[in-house]
Each structure stands twice: as structure tokens, then as C-alpha cells.
């Protein structure tokens, strides 16, 4: 039977044949791991990127005493809230004020010199040229700051950008006494600020910085440099002289009551310096008042024989002070200015209105406050006239007027 059946050959296998397993896909890096690596890379790179970002300032470290407590003659009150606003939205930035009879002269943010008389604002002169109103126009438009009447009745004005001028308030004629393009001791002025006229006609001028201009005044403050100086101008000889250097934001200037020295507000360090005019210390600078309750702007005589000082920013023990905190930390100021503009940084500083009266010893004898900062903040100058305090401001769109009778107890 086997002969009739066809038999299959057994399956032959070759011992050299290799049976391959099916290929498996290469294992990829998990998305979680990739995300983690990317995150770490960013964290590592971020400090480098921040470090390489440019900053507009080169800040220096400086120290300040702990801010004073608002007590005693600095005790808060609401006196400044009793002031009246004048010419609101009709005048911008009346920084410095001169009162002559029933005329009030001031300079404005758009480069004008105006005469306010019996409720009417009249433009006397314009020191620069149009256009005005934009940041980039300021150096040519001009910014009138400190001003005084001389013995002939001319209004002597220092323009922060343009130099020193004499203005005929009756005719509006303008005379350039000294242009800011003229170097003094090898340095061209950048930020002229205030002035004082001596009886013999000699004019003392403060320059806030030889690096920064008025439009960069916050950067000048944040940098903390001491490039400010005191200058004299002699109208008889047309000679300007550098008298003293090393001021940290030299600002307002005023002759002492006995005429032996000039008092100069040093804004950055919250103090008032004294430049001696006579005696064995003539030509030397010393501290008149230290650790002030704010950053001082202009200084003017008070009717009681002392000195009124307006404060742009306050500093008090009872409240965090951004200025004091960053003073010894230049790296922090440099970091902040890499990301924020001047205006943005100032928004972190609370508004507060403050003026203080000092005696001849540099002691505060009284202070007037607007603790809400809503009525009269940002005070640049106080003019004490016939029982009335006129308050100027570098940025407010109005003048303020306070009758002292309103705050008598």
C-alpha cells in the first residue's frame, strides 16, 4: 500500500540560515525630558541675557542715614490741602517764581516766560525755538528754571538747556548773557538749574549734572553720580568760573541771611550744602542740613528769616523709601532701568506734598503737608509774600496759593 501513496519530502533546513526578528522603532527622547532640558536652558541663559541688556545709567553706590520720623516739627498735618489751585490746565510746570508787586513771573514746561497779572497770563518771551512739547524738542525749545529780578528790574533766567538770559519784562526783549555751549573748565554745561544774584551783580548758578540733561533728571537721580557743580557769572567781565564740584544733583540755591554763604540743595543725598563765601573757610563746602525728610528742590527765604524748601519726593521712617533702599544697591538700579522708563519708575514712589521751613542752624522749625498727595504734590519752590505762600511745581498744570491765616491754630 505504501507503494501507491506519494510521500512528501521532509522539509529541509539549512543550518546556516539566520532567522531575523522583526525590527523595533528606535526609542525617542520623551517630550517631558525635552521640555525639562529646554526649561533649564532658558533659566541658565536668562541671567546672561539680562546682564547683556543695555542700561542707560552707570549707577554708583552711596549711603544715606535712616529716614527721619515724621514727628515734632515734621508731624503730618493737612495744611497744604487748604491751598487754592490757580490757572489749572492753563500753565504747565511753573518751576520757579518771582513776585514783583502784583506781578508774578514764572517759566513753563514749553519754554515760555510768563507774567501773571490780575488773573491774566501773558507770555513775555520764549527763550528757545519751536517746535515744543515733545521729548526730543526740549534741548532747542528750552526749559526756563531758576529766575530772579536784578537791581535794574530785568528778569534774569537760567534755562536748563540754553544758558543765562536777561529779559525785559515790559517789552519782552531777550538778551543772551552766556550760552550753555561755552565750556567751563573744559566741560560744556548740560543741566543748569537755579541762580542767585548778589548785590554787586555777580550771579551764582547751580548745574545739576555735567552728564545728564533736564529731560533725563530721573536718570541723574537714579545714577547717583556727583557731577553737579557751582558756577559764577560776572556780567561786568562776561567771565564764568567753576567754583565747586562734586555735588550729587545740585539744585536750588539761596544766600544766607547774613550773606556769608550760599545754601545749595543736594537732591540725591537729601541734604543742603553750604558754600562759604567769606572767612577762613571761604571756598569750602560743608553740610548745612542732613537727612532731610525728602529730596529737596529749590530753597528760598521765608518771611520769618528762615528758609523754605520744597520737596519732590519724601522719605520717612514710617514708610518704605525706594530711594533709600536702592542707594547702596547700584546693581538694582541698573537692572530696573533696563526694563522701565524714567516715568514708569517714578510711579512706584507715592505722591506726597511737603514743604519745610529751616532756621539758620539748619533745623526744621515747621512743615506743611498734603499727606494724600492729591492737592499739592511735586512742590519745587515756595515764595513767601505778604502772608501768602505761592507754591511752584516742576510738573503740575497749575500754581498753588496758600493763605497762612488759614493754618493758624
Query: What backbone phi and psi angles, to 5 degrees, belong to 167?
Result: -120, 130
Q: In what order do the strands lie in the sheet containing 399-403?
A: 84-86, 399-403, 388-393, 379-385
Q: What is 242-256 written as a DSSP string?
A: EEEEEESSEEEEEE-
The answer to whether the CB of 220 falls within 8 A of the CB of 211 is yes
Q: 100 has which bridge partners?
A: 103
pTM: 0.88
User: Per residue in 371-387, pLDDT tens?
Assistant: 999 999 999 999 999 99
**DSSP tag of 187:** B
- In this structure, what are the phi and psi dihedrals at residue 207, rounded to the nearest 5 degrees? -120, 120
Query: What residues contact 106, with CB distance under 8 A and at least 6 apart?
Result: 91, 94, 95, 96, 97, 98, 113, 114, 116, 147, 392, 399
Mean pLDDT value across the chain? 92
pLDDT, position 47? 63
Mean pLDDT lowest for which of 18-27, 260-269, 323-332? 18-27
Q: Is 139 helix (H, G, I), strand (E, B) or coil?
A: helix
Give the cell for residue 66. 535712616
- Please write the tens of the pLDDT for every residue from 356-371: 999 999 999 999 999 9
Write out the DSSP string of 306-347. SEEEEEEEE--TTS--HHHHHTT-HHHHHHHHTT--HHHHHT
* 221 confidence band (pLDDT: 50, 70, 90): very high
Q: Which residue has the higher pLDDT, 48 or 16?
A: 48
pLDDT at position 22, please? 53
Residue 11: band (very low, low, confident or very high) from pLDDT cuts 50, 70, 90:
very low
Domain spans in the chain, listed from the N-terminal domain onward: 54-407
The owner of cell 542707594 is: 327
CATH class of domain segment(s) 54-407: mainly beta
pLDDT at 6: 46
Percent of the chain with pLDDT over 90: 84
pLDDT at 5: 43
**End-to-end distance of the chain based on CA atoms, in angstroms?**
143
Amino acid at each position: 500500500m505504501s507503494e501507491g501513496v506519494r510521500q512528501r519530502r521532509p522539509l529541509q533546513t539549512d543550518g546556516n540560515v539566520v532567522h531575523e526578528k522583526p525590527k523595533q522603532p528606535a526609542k525617542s527622547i520623551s517630550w517631558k525630558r525635552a521640555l525639562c532640558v529646554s526649561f533649564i536652558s532658558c533659566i541658565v541663559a536668562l541671567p546672561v541675557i539680562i546682564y547683556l541688556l543695555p542700561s542707560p545709567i552707570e549707577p554708583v553706590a552711596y549711603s544715606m542715614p535712616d529716614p527721619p520720623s515724621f514727628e515734632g516739627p515734621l508731624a503730618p498735618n493737612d495744611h497744604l490741602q487748604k491751598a487754592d489751585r490757580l490757572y489749572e490746565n492753563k500753565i504747565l510746570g511753573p518751576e520757579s517764581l518771582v513776585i514783583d508787586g502784583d506781578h508774578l513771573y514764572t517759566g513753563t514746561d514749553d519754554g515760555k516766560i510768563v507774567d501773571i497779572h490780575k488773573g491774566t497770563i501773558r507770555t513775555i518771551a520764549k527763550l528757545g525755538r519751536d517746535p515744543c512739547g515733545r521729548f526730543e524738542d526740549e534741548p532747542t525749545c528750552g526749559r526756563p528754571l531758576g529766575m530772579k529780578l536784578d537791581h535794574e528790574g530785568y528778569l534774569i533766567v537760567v534755562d536748563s538747556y540754553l544758558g543765562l538770559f536777561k529779559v525785559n519784562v515790559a517789552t519782552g526783549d531777550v538778551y543772551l548773557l552766556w550760552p550753555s555751549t561755552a565750556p567751563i573748565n573744559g566741560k560744556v554745561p548740560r543741566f543748569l538749574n537755579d541762580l542767585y544774584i548778589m548785590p554787586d551783580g555777580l550771579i551764582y548758578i547751580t548745574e545739576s549734572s555735567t552728564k545728564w540733561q533736564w529731560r533725563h533728571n530721573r536718570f541723574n537721580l537714579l545714577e547717583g553720580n556727583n557731577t553737579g557743580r557751582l558756577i559764577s557769572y560776572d556780567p561786568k567781565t562776561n567771565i564764568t568760573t567753576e567754583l565747586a564740584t562734586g555735588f550729587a544733583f545740585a539744585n536750588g540755591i539761596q544766600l544766607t541771611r547774613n550773606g556769608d554763604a550760599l545754601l545749595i540743595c543736594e537732591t540725591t543725598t537729601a541734604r543742603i550744602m553750604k558754600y562759604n563765601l567769606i572767612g577762613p573757610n571761604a571756598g569750602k563746602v560743608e553740610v548745612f542740613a542732613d537727612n532731610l525728610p525728602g529730596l529737596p528742590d529749590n530753597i528760598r527765604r521765608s518771611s520769618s528769616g528762615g528758609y523754605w524748601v520744597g520737596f519732590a519726593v519724601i522719605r520717612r521712617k514710617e514708610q518704605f523709601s525706594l530711594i533709600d533702599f536702592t542707594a547702596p544697591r547700584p546693581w538694582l538700579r541698573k537692572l530696573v532701568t533696563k526694563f522701565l522708563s524714567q516715568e514708569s519708575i517714578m510711579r512706584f514712589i507715592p505722591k506726597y506734598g511737603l514743604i519745610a521751613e529751616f532756621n539758620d542752624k539748619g533745623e526744621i522749625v515747621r512743615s506743611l503737608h498734603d499727606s494724600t498727595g492729591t492737592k499739592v504734590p511735586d512742590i519745587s519752590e515756595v515764595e513767601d509774600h505778604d502772608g501768602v505762600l505761592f507754591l511752584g511745581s516742576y510738573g503740575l498744570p497749575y500754581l498753588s496759593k496758600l493763605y497762612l491765616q488759614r493754618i493758624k491754630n
